[in-house]
Amino acid sequence: MNCEHNIKVRILFLEEVYKISDYQIGIDIIDLRNRIEKLESCIPIEDGPEIITTVDLMSPKIGKHTTTGFINKVESKIPYIYGENDYCTWAYVYVGSGNNSVFFKATLNVEGDGPIAGSFTEWNPSLGSPHFGDVNCYTYMEQRRPGQVRIGGRHDWDKNLPCAVGYIAYKK
């Protein structure tokens, strides 16, 4: 079904069930079109640039529990926050800066093969931690295989924005 069909169905529903005026239906149509346009602008662009990050979190040297540290990968420092307990590990990893045309994808080497939950968010470089403000961030992929987690996402801001991926993974 296309968007126009959905709008027509909603109009008929509003007219029949709620006996709403044409004026109110017009406002609803404008609202629906604005929502559809906003959603369509968030759909990943297949041929847009990608920032791909690979990080080894198999054996961080920063101890257990919530800690901030750095790991070296390809001669550069990648900030991250890492924690673990007997049941799970979790981390937020800085993946770079880019505008809304960039698709961020990070593959994290993480022990285990248990279920995961992932997120994509803003990163505050001065605090070295996840952050959120007025920008909408979207998580498009959460994948798991033994020893690895892959998270991907993008945001809707037209300026460069420092971003991070996060996950929590059960060790199993």
**pTM score, two decimals?**
0.61
Q: Which residue has the higher pLDDT, 94 or 19?
A: 94
* 73 confidence band (pLDDT: 50, 70, 90): very low
Task: Give the CA diameter of the chain.
Answer: 66
Strand-pair category, 148-155 with 88-98: unpaired
pLDDT value at 57 more than 70: no
In the predicted model, what is the mean pLDDT of residues 128-147?
90
pLDDT digits (tens, 9 = 90+) for 100-116: 888 888 888 888 889 99
Residue 71, pLDDT score: 39
For residue 111, the SS3 value is: coil
Domains along the sequence of the chain with CATH: 3-41 (no CATH), 50-170 (2.60.40)
Mean pLDDT for all residues in the chain: 75
Residue 121, pLDDT score: 94
Residue 127: both structure tokens together: 């605090």
Tokens 């101890």, located at residue: 63
* Stretch (H or E) spanning 122: strand 116-124
Q: Which residue has the higher pLDDT, 143 or 77?
A: 143
Rounded Cα gap, residues 62 and 71, in angstroms? 10
Residue 65, pLDDT score: 38
Counting residues of the chain whose pLDDT is more than 70, the rounded percentage is 62
Residue positions counted in the chain? 172
In the predicted model, what is the mean pLDDT of residues 72-84?
61
Residue 87, pLDDT score: 83
Q: Terminal CA-to-CA distance of the chain, rounded, Å?
A: 42
Label residue 60 exposed, middle or buried (CB < 10 Å: 0-12, 13-18, 19+).
middle
Among residues 113, 88, 141, 72, the alpha carbon closest in space to that of 80 is found at 72
Rounded Cα gap, residues 64 and 68, in angstroms? 11
pLDDT value at 54 more than 80: no
